Amino acid sequence: MNQSSPSSRLPRSGLGAEYLDHLARRGADPRELTEHAAASELLAVGYGGRFLPGPVFVTAAERASMAADLTTLHRLLTELPDRLFGGDLGAFAAGVGMNACQTSVVRRAAGTADPLLPLARSDLYRDADGFKLLELNITSALGGFENADINRLMLRHPALAEFVDKHGLGYLDTLRAIADTLRAECSAHLPDSGRPVVALADWPQSFVSYAPRLGVMARLLDGLGIDAVPCHVGQIRERGDRLEIDGRTIDVVFRFFLVEEIVTDDDVALVEPILRAVERGTVGLFSRLDAELYGNKGALGMLSDDRNRSAFTADEHACLDRFLPWTRPVRRTLALGDGTEAELVPYALAHQHDLILKPTLLHGGSGIVPGWTVPAEEWQARLAEAVDGPYVLQRRVRPVPESFPAQHGDGSQELYLNWGVFLTDSSVTGGDGYGGCIVRGSTDPQVGVVSMSGGARVGCCFHESTPAV
């Protein structure tokens, strides 16, 4: 993969540059562009008024390319147990770093009759060669589901509304796509008439802080015909063959708890009522626990590892080489890509500023060590701890800066973006599988993880429906 320097310049798409010119001609105050989103009580829960001073734009060609590449990556990930492990799901789970408790629950969940449809949110950087995939979060517990509300509120600014109308731009409501996927996956468990009761089930510890966000989702799902109840798994009760929350029979458990939280036998006991009901077929689980096998960073390492190249076709290799950065499991030796192998630790020490160390199971940037942000001694120590453990090394992708209206005053500012592009099942939601987008932006050119906890701001995306003439 070509590495662009932090000072490289890749202009925003023609739409982005034209939008900046449009704002300048209109004399729009950047502070007014986000005032409606910043004033939203609903959006304040997740984003605290921290919005980018404008949207991003995706051309029809970019949308089609991202959708095709993400669809291919998702398919390859879900086929890894068959391609590399002879169909042994347990061996695959161990290979991506799951312990015995986690392996047990994902095998049980995978044995149910309900399908597992494509639903994921990617983390992409855009470098000088195009979009590159850092992670693919394959789960129902996806942040950014309020993205369409950011679009709607930003469109209240007349300058943006005029621009969007002029170019025939649109956006997708990702939460509606998620709700449609839930209905398709769990159709066998939905009532013939009336509104389904869906438990938005988190883990007890994370529910303490995440409950308000689940409350936002419940309000939004109410408008989509779903009675959603925020809760944690310890609040769900068995009543006969069914599950209940607050005295109401549950049709579907919408899973916000993660496999990484199920570590011990006590944790398994906490989710046992849900697992039993799923196995009986008396409740739907959205999404199945084995979804996180395929969204695991260790699975990306298997796709990228040159030792596995014979498992993929030439067309699949073209997608992997174009879209997925060099990613390797942290073992004592690694394949370099030219048919040779090297000792991992010396190689990683020599290339510290081009590598990032990631745990395979954790989410939200937890445990990630960008090599260029730590002293050599700490990098060496973290590598030594990670060898033969649930970690991957990934080659650094340097996002190009993109211009936005200046936050205060005239002119522009440069930001480095994480593109959260959603993937859905085209047979359920229509289109090409592109399920909308939410972006996070940082002013730091050396950023390791573009995250809200790291001071990033969030923004929405508009896309072309057809190529511009």
| Residue pLDDT, tens place only, 350-394 | 999 999 999 998 766 678 999 999 999 999 999 999 999 999 999
pTM of the model: 0.93
For residue 5, pLDDT beyond 60: no
Report the DSSP beta bridge partners of residue 420: 438
pLDDT digits (tens, 9 = 90+) for 108-129: 988 888 899 999 999 999 999 9
Of 126, 152, 132, 199, nearest in space to 416 by CA: 126
pLDDT digits (tens, 9 = 90+) for 152-161: 999 999 999 9
- Please say whether the beta carbons of 121 and 181 come within 8 A: no
Across 16-30, 205-219, 332-346, 395-409, the highest mean pLDDT is recorded for 205-219
CATH of region 326-395: 3.30.1490
Rounded CA gap, 348 and 330, in Å? 10
For residue 52, pLDDT beyond 50: yes
Q: Which two tokens mark 58? A: 């995706």
Rounded CA gap, 61 and 69, in Å? 12
pLDDT > 90 fraction of the chain, expressed in percent and rounded: 78
pLDDT digits (tens, 9 = 90+) for 53-91: 889 999 999 999 999 999 999 999 999 999 999 999 999
pLDDT of amino acid 413: 85
pLDDT of amino acid 408: 67
Of 143, 136, 138, nearest in space to 117 by CA: 138
For residue 6, pLDDT beyond 60: no
Domain ranges of the chain: 14-295+399-464, 326-395
Q: Mean per-residue pLDDT for 130-156? A: 95
